[in-house]
Amino acid sequence: MKIYLSGQLVDESEAKVSVFDHGLLYGDGVFEGIRAYHGRVFLLKEHVDRLYESAKAIALEIPMTRGEMARAVVETCIANGISSGYIRLVVTRGVGTLGLNPYLCKKPEVIIIAAAIQLYPPELYETGMSVVTVGTVRNHPEAINPRIKSLNYLNNVMAKIEAINSGVLECIMLNPQGHVAEASGDNIFIVKNGVLKTPPVWCGALDGITRRAVMGIAEDAGYAVREDVLQRYDLFTADEMFLTGTAAEVIAVTTVDRRTIGDGTPGQVTLDLQRHFKEYVKVNGTPIQAN
Ligand code: PXG
């Protein structure tokens, strides 16, 4: 496998970063997870834009243009013969001292990995998944804003530990006010009386690219879509529930904290959106081809 490492494609065995990199020492950096489908990098521009906005928010200046970054992603896919797969884009603060000061890190490290994807077990898409709400509160927006896709994912990792300890694969995190924020690595939607609802990002969610795509797909399909503050009560009494994310795509949730959602199987709206999403990914991406 070839890895893009700060300007060059190098062999996996040579793709190494320093132990003094602040990405490692402090989780100081940003990242993106992107899919490639059918020879296209899905919504590449949207992912690159979010990466640069995450970087801006942490005062990290990425040493290449957005266009160069998008090009590097495509080149990395070509170098690895990837037409469908998973791309991880990472920008770290770079090598510095053992102290926190990011201004002593002179050169951010840019890493692009294009590989196969690890998905949820396929049967979960048939049956829907079970989730729990967890005690780990989503980051306060004025601590690390959840809109920043930073390398500091301990908040989500700790929530994921609670999910796994409870015997499920994903969990719902609440914000400091006790309102629904998102899952540990996905956004959440409910359907109630035919209306799709998802928490606004200010409730503590990542501005998910799949979330945004699904909101558009749903509106085009004639569904009413609303950003609404949601309480756990709204989850327990929802007609349908599903999660969206780069890895999960659109996946039904059929139990929350042992309350059955709807009739306990993926709902009709969820199934309809899954079908639309499968078509959407075929035509919304940057072709993986040489310039
Ligand atoms: N919320 C959080 C906290 C995320 O990390 C999403 C929502 C969904 O956003 P997108 O833009 O992907 O629709 C994410 C993204 C993994 C994995 O391996 C998960 C994500 C990204 C990369 C890898 O589980 N989640």
| Ligand 1 proximity of 137 Cβ (cutoff 6 Å) | no
- Centre of ligand 1 to C-alpha 149, Å, is 9
Look at the block and give the residue holding tokens 């834009």.
49
Q: Are 58 and 132 in contact (CB under 8 A)?
A: no
pLDDT of residue 161: 98
d(CA 81, CA 79) in angstroms, rounded, equals 6
Beta bridge partner(s), residue 192: 195
Going from the Cα of 226 to the center of ligand 1, the distance in angstroms, rounded, reads: 21
What is the predicted pLDDT for the residue at 118? 76
The rounded average pLDDT for each run of 10 residues, N- to C-terminus, in the chain (291 residues) is: 96 97 98 97 98 98 98 98 96 98 98 90 93 98 97 98 98 98 98 98 98 98 98 98 97 98 97 97 95 80
Q: Does ligand 1 have an atom closer than 6 angstroms to the CB of 267?
A: no
Using a 6 Å cutoff on CB, does residue 182 contact ligand 1?
yes
Distance 281 CA to ligand 1 centre (A): 17
Nearest protein Cα to ligand 1, atom 19 = 185
For this structure, is 149 an active site residue?
Answer: yes
CA distance 189 to 249: 12
Q: In this structure, what are the phi and psi dihedrals at residue 256, rounded to the nearest 5 degrees?
A: -130, 125
CA-nearest residue for atom 7, ligand 1, is 186
- Tell me the three-class secondary structure of the chain, residue by residue: CEEEECCEEEEHHHCCCCCCEHHHHHCCEEEEEEEEECCEEECHHHHHHHHHHHHHHCCCCCCCCHHHHHHHHHHHHHHCCCCCEEEEEEEECCECCCCCCHHHCCCCEEEEEEECCCCCCCHHHHHCEEEEECCCCCCCCCCCCCCCCECCCHHHHHHHHHHHHCCCCEEEEECCCCCEEEECCCEEEEEECCEEEECCHHHCCCCCHHHHHHHHHHHHCCCEEEECCCCHHHHHCCCEEEEEECCCEEEEEEEECCEECCCCCCCHHHHHHHHHHHHHHHHCEEECCCC
What pLDDT shows up at residue 117? 84
What's this model's pTM, rounded to 2 decimal places?
0.97
What number of residues does the chain have? Answer: 291
Which domains are delineated in the chain?
A: 2-115 (3.30.470.10), 124-282 (3.20.10.10)
pLDDT of residue 8: 97
- The residue contributing the CA closest to ligand 1 atom 24 is 185
pLDDT for 150 = 98
Q: What is the model's pLDDT at position 109?
A: 98
Q: What is the pLDDT of residue 115?
A: 94
Q: Are the CB atoms for 209 and 43 separated by under 8 Å? A: yes
Q: Is 40 in the pocket of ligand 1 (CB under 6 A)?
A: no
* Structural contact between residues 261 and 243, judged by C-beta atoms closer than 8 angstroms: no
97 alpha carbon – ligand 1 mean position (Å):
30
Q: Which of 149, 192, 197, 278 is catalytic?
A: 149
Q: Whose CA is nearest to atom 25 of ligand 1?
A: 185
Question: For residue 291, what pLDDT is reported?
Answer: 80
199 close to ligand 1 (CB < 6 Angstrom) = no
Q: Which residue's alpha carbon is at the smallest distance from atom 2 of ligand 1?
A: 185
Burial class of 120 by CB neighbour count within 10 A (0 to 12, 13 to 18, 19+): middle
Find out whether 40 and 73 touch, Cβ atoms under 8 Å. no
Decide whether any atom of ligand 1 lies within 6 Å of the 210 Cβ: yes
Give pLDDT, residue 274.
Answer: 97
